[in-house]
Amino acid sequence: MLGDPDDDRLIGELGELLDATDPPPARLVAAAKANYGWRTIDAELAALAYDSAAEPVPAGVRGGEEPRLVVFDGADLRLEIELHAEGPGRHLLGQLVPPGPAELQVRQGGGRVSVSADASGRFAATGLSAEALSLACLRPGQPPVVTDWVLP
Amino acid sequence: MAELDLAALVRAAADGDADAWDRLVERCTPLLWSIARGYRLPTSDAEDVVQTSWLRLLEHLGRLDDPARVRAWLATTVRRECLLVLRKQGRAVPTGPDELEADAPPDQAVGPEAAVLRSERSVLLARAFAELSARCQQLLRLLAAPASYEEIVAATGMRIGAIGPTRARCLDHLRRRLAVAGSNVGLAD
């Protein structure tokens, strides 16, 4: 890795060119900073454990027909989510494991959509966008659980 | 003012310091952007991928095994999200470092017409870069970011031992295209 000065100079020149012609958009940097508002202090994390979109598609099978299945695992709670795309919109169906009633918030963009899980742990949310989203789950007498963020 | 190192910024942000988060974003976003662009994502997709990766980090701030390596952590996340986007769009998913070379469309972002380039040399360099293979563009973008070899591995899945030889080959290609373009300025020796 001993840098040849000429190589280093050319890479530096290329860096200046790319900085000038294709820098990260200012609105992206601003949005990434604003993300900090989503920070949670005392929530447990349910981490991304499975994503059907990341699985290899068998030869000859076109993806995109089946709903995408995403699973998040926390210490004592699993969230299974089916993501459906309808043009630019998204909706989701979810199942809590173990099943039980809970309040859920779909966190996305500038706001939250609140939905309830029924006694069997099922829930649904509609009217979502294609922006990154995360779920927060509030169960009676339990600490809140938040999921990893995914691009639906 | 001394630059706080990345690990200190991660810890401060995990403890509630919004300024530390802002500085992390400023210091790492150019690298993440270069990764997304290296996978040929158009602007809106590249923005979504980078934005999602920052959100992902937010929930992991206090949980990273090694906060000093946060750039590599983010690079891995951006790469994963880029591959998901490519897959969803039915585009070729590079499963190995060579596959980007195959049939990637030309990189539109750095064409000579992409911006007002001040000097003839810049125009020639942009044109020469645009003619490189996707793999060479990806690697040179990362080196120019600048990314460490560890970060390049995280961003591309390349073997670390392949980076040096590929770097030399890609720079050679770039020089030859520059020379063909009739510019030997700054290339003597």
A130 Cβ neighbours under 8 A, 6+ residues apart = A85, A88, A89, A90, A151, A152, B48
**B110 contacts A21 by C-beta, under 8 angstroms:** yes
- Dihedral-angle region of residue A43 (phi above 0 means left; psi in -120 to 50 means alpha; beta otherwise): beta
| Spatial CA neighbour of B96 closest among B6, B155, B157 | B157
Q: Do A19 and B146 touch (CB under 8 A)?
A: no
In B55-82, which positions are buried (b, 16+ CB within 10 angstroms) versus exposed (e)?
bbbbbbbeebeebebbbbbbbbbbbbbb
Query: Residue B92 — pLDDT band, cuts 50, 70, 90?
Result: low
Provide the shortest C-alpha distance from residue A134 to chain B (in Å): 9
Q: Do B110 and A32 touch (CB under 8 A)?
A: no
B76 Cβ neighbours under 8 A, 6+ residues apart = B154, B155
Grouping H, G, I as helix, E, B as strand and the rest as coil, residue A124 is strand
| Number of inter-chain CB pairs under 8 A, A vs B | 139
Provide the shortest C-alpha distance from residue A118 to chain B (in Å): 27
Query: CA-CA distance, B138 to A54, in Å (whole number)?
Result: 22
Q: Do A11 and B80 touch (CB under 8 A)?
A: no
pLDDT of residue B100: 46
Query: Residue A63 — pLDDT band, cuts 50, 70, 90?
Result: low
Q: Which residue from B32, B55, B87 is facing A35, i.e. has the nearest CB?
A: B55
Q: Is B39 on the interface with A (CB under 8 A)?
A: no
Terminal Cα-to-Cα distance of chain B (whole angstroms)? 39
A 68-127 residues inside an 8 A Cβ radius of B: none
Q: Is B80 on the interface with A (CB under 8 A)?
A: yes
Provide the shortest C-alpha distance from residue B54 to chain A (in Å): 6
**Could you state, in order of their start, the residue ranges of all structural domains in chain B?**
6-180
Q: Do B49 and A151 touch (CB under 8 A)?
A: yes
Provide the shortest C-alpha distance from residue A151 to chain B (in Å): 7
Q: Which residue from A24, A27, A33 is facing B33, i.e. has the nearest CB?
A: A24
Q: Is B82 on the interface with A (CB under 8 A)?
A: no
Distances (CA, A) of A81 to A72, A98, A113, B83, B87: 8, 14, 15, 21, 19
CA A108, B52, B41, B47 dihedral sign is: positive
pLDDT 10s digits, B102-158:
344 445 555 545 445 568 888 899 999 999 999 999 999 999 999 999 999 999 999
Give the pLDDT mean for B74-89: 94
pLDDT of residue A108: 96
| ipTM value greater than 0.95 | no
pLDDT of residue B101: 43
Name the pTM for this structure. Answer: 0.88
| Spatial CA neighbour of B100 closest among B168, B155, B175, B179 | B155
Residue of A nearest to B90 (CA): A63
Q: Do B143 and A11 touch (CB under 8 A)?
A: yes
Residues of B in contact with A45 (CB under 8 A): 59-60, 63
DSSP-assigned states of every residue in B77-110: HHHHHHHHHHHHTTPPP--STTGGGTTPPP--TT
Give the pLDDT mean for A64-79: 90
Provide the shortest C-alpha distance from residue A70 to chain B (in Å): 13
Whether residue B97 is preceded by a cis peptide bond, meaning omega within 30 degrees of 0, is: no
